[in-house]
Structure 1
Amino acid sequence: MSSATRTIGSGGDDGKLYPPPLASHEVIVNDAKLFLDTLKQFHFHMGSKYMIPVIGGRKLDLHTLYVEVTRRSGYEKVVAEKKWREVGSVFNFSTTTTSASYVLKKHYWNLLYDFEQVHFFKVQGPITPPADVLSGSSSSGKPDLALAEYAPKHANNGPESNVEAKGYPRYGEGTIEEKIDCGYLVSVKLGSEVLRGVIFHPEETVPPPSSRVAVTGVV
């Protein structure tokens, strides 16, 4: 896919400007080694941290991630059309790798979004983040709160509830940390302990702070 063009307004990240492109988009999508060298230099010029994430015990192929997202018209288009699961399907992650869509989105934002702006969209001028950096946060930038109900599965011949046997309350105040394609990353305070996990469900809007969320298990 050929690179696109985009203009951005004023504002930006404390007046910081994007550096000029170090190579053309058409060249770096066809040369993984040049891509990584260019990405490393780009982060040096930006003064940002460069690293290769590890997912499921394997280094994430940032070149493939960049190619797959830009061939779908870039980060914001993939976010808007909810195609992170589609992008993730090309990586063949192990079944033990959970929330892959969210993880890919986070790493793309941290490592490749600005690189995409310069090399794919050919943006020049002040750095301006997209309107929705990582979905799932409220307009104030703080996680949404919800009342969580813990409903554990009972053993056939065991006590009514191991949780109740340990003295945990049935209800507790929970926090929706992030919205992901398959549900929500949450944390729930039960007594003196904080439990974290994932609530899986079909796509729907984030519940308001006063809503009640059924938690079917603890991670």
Structure 2
Amino acid sequence: MSRQLARAREAEETVVASGTSRFYQRRNAITSGIVVSNEKQTDPKIDSRIDEYGHFQREERRAGITPFKVLFPIGAVLFVGFWTWALFFASKTAVNKIDDTAWTERAEEICAPVKAELRSMELLANPSLAIRSDLVTESTDLLAAMLDDIEAVEPVDPKGQAIVPDWIADWRILIQDRYNYSDRLRDGQDVPFTESAVRSVPITERIETFAGDNAMPSCAPPRGSIV
């Protein structure tokens, strides 16, 4: 009887009744092999992207090297370098300037009186085609004689000897253009004066540039009138 009572009490300690089902549990709880730590498990890569409020921060995209970032500084350096050279180191001597200043001074002395005479002839301008033709021929004869006087003496410097003949040749072309224009006027053609071009540059511009570079303003072609 005492043995049966002891077994009944033991059964009460191990049995928990719940409705129509029973849950059996051992007297001693099963020990878990999992260790729970109160310390937060963190990932350095993730933690660095979480702000103080626990919000996940989107990682900013790092801009890489682009062609613009490479070429722009190079272009800026070249631009500054070019203008520094052009303003402070490049030669300021005119391309057409020759070294024989005695020759250029002599040429200016020959051209100055001819230029003054051409100005006086402009006062004789007349709408008559025949008179205009005569004035063009007469003024062109003066220019041809002026050029012969200039050509009679050559420059002594190598550069002058190389480029002055080209300038003289340009003058010869312009003189022929003027004679051709005089013929058209005499034939009754009331047309504007046209001039030749060398390498797409008007002949008068080439002549005028050389005269300006060598301080020979009177040796430039007449402007404002065909006379």
Normalising TM by the smaller chain, what interval? Answer: under 0.3
Greater strand proportion: 1
TM-score scaled by length of structure 2: 0.21
